[in-house]
Homo-oligomer: A and B are copies of this chain.
Amino acid sequence: MVNSIKVQAPGTVANLVCGFDVLGLCLHEPYDIMEVQLLDEPVIKIQSADGYPLPTDPQRNTAGAPLVEMVKELDNSVGFEVIIHKHIKPGSGIGSSAASAAGAVVAANMLLENKFSKEDLVRFAMFGEKVASGVKHADNIAPCIYGGITLIRSIFPLDIVTIPAPDLYVTVVHPQIEVKTADARQILRKEVLLKDAIKQWGNIAGLVAGFMKNDLDLIGRSLEDVIIEPVRSILIPGFDEVKRKSKEAGALGGGISGSGPSIFMLSKEKSTAQAVAQLMNEIYDRIGLDRHTYVTKINHQGVSLAPTLTPKSA
């Protein structure tokens, strides 16, 4: 039996435009690398591979807390050691904490020969999100574990729906400023106009239909958020310009990734996605903000074995 495994835990885009709080998408890049080892005693050990300062108390670590829950359900018969190569910057808005949580439970489950269902894994991983933000939410966890595009119709009870989608390119820019999730949530109004809500649910219905029909024009028309984006985008320098120019360059559309500050854009062609990255870089160069830019695709697999896997046998 393999007792050690190395996985790639990818970034994710939550709050997919009109799908605030319910729709998420899995990326190929960036991703964390996580090495997870099965132990025969009920301890959870967390270690940072590259000196990145991570809490080592498992209860306070986004990868640790989910494993604590998993081990509880296994009657404390096993434990895990986790070494994290953290590449997704916390606070980027592309699911850094979810990657750690999802990567840990998927890897652990592989070592347990898939004892748990994906839904179980989401349930465990949400304890990691609770550590990170104080709230159990699944809109990064679910796409990270299921891959592709996921709808979290409900958290209690958990209801995850995979949405088949075309093989689109995703350009992500992470301007190096801090937007705290709590702040981004704070500025939202608790009430919204019914007429705006109607527009929003018309758009999410159109977006889901567009993904499932492979109708790129419909996807583009539906990628409109009349409620959250107008408020939150003011926290992100350059947002309007990035969006407008990306669409002019041929992107289908996009918006804020998670609660920001990252911005993502969907494109049909790689060349468009690259042109979008180029103009994002130009905009932030001009503004004078450091940034990371990724040209990647929708990742239909979610957390996966790292290709450089060299398993140690028990």
List residues of chain A with CB under 8 Å of any chain B CB.
18-23, 151-154, 159, 161, 163, 188-195, 197-210, 212-213, 218, 221-222, 227
Given A194-B192, A197-B200, A227-B197: A209 and B212 interface contact (C-beta under 8 Å): yes
Q: Can you show 30 pairs from A to B with CB atoms below 8 A apart?
A: A19-B201, A22-B205, A23-B205, A151-B206, A151-B209, A153-B202, A153-B205, A153-B218, A153-B221, A159-B206, A161-B206, A163-B205, A163-B209, A188-B194, A189-B194, A190-B194, A191-B194, A192-B192, A192-B193, A194-B227, A197-B200, A197-B201, A201-B201, A201-B204, A204-B204, A208-B209, A208-B212, A209-B212, A212-B212, A212-B213
- Cβ contacts under 8 Å, A218 to chain B: 153, 161
List the B residue with the shortest CB-CB distance to A162. Answer: B209
**A19 B193 Cβ-Cβ under 8 A:** no
Q: Which of A21, A193, A201, A213 gathers the greatest number of chain B CB atoms within 10 Å?
A: A201
A203 to chain B, nearest CB (A): 7
Q: Which 9 A-B pairs have the closest CB atoms?
A: A197-B197, A153-B206, A22-B202, A201-B201, A191-B191, A208-B208, A153-B202, A201-B204, A21-B198
Q: What's the number of copies of this chain in the assembled complex?
A: 2
A255 to chain B, nearest CB (A): 15
**B152 A202 Cβ-Cβ under 8 A:** yes
Given A191-B193, A194-B190, A227-B194: A201 and B22 interface contact (C-beta under 8 Å): yes
Instruction: Kindly list 6 other residue pairs between chains A and B, CB separation below 8 angstroms, not including A154-B202, A161-B205.
Output: A21-B198, A159-B206, A159-B221, A191-B192, A208-B208, A209-B212
A40 to chain B, nearest CB (A): 40
- Cβ contacts under 8 Å, A204 to chain B: 201, 204-205
**How far apart are the CA atoms of A47 and B208 in the complex, in Å?**
43
**How far apart are the CA atoms of A93 and B312 in the complex, in Å?**
67
Q: Which of A188, A192, A227 gathers the greatest number of chain B CB atoms within 10 Å?
A: A192
**B201 A18 Cβ-Cβ under 8 A:** yes
**How far apart are the CA atoms of A282 and B199 in the complex, in Å?**
39
- Cβ contacts under 8 Å, A153 to chain B: 202-203, 205-206, 218, 221-222
**A198 B22 Cβ-Cβ under 8 A:** yes
- Cβ contacts under 8 Å, A221 to chain B: 153-154, 159
- Cβ contacts under 8 Å, A197 to chain B: 192, 197, 200-201, 227
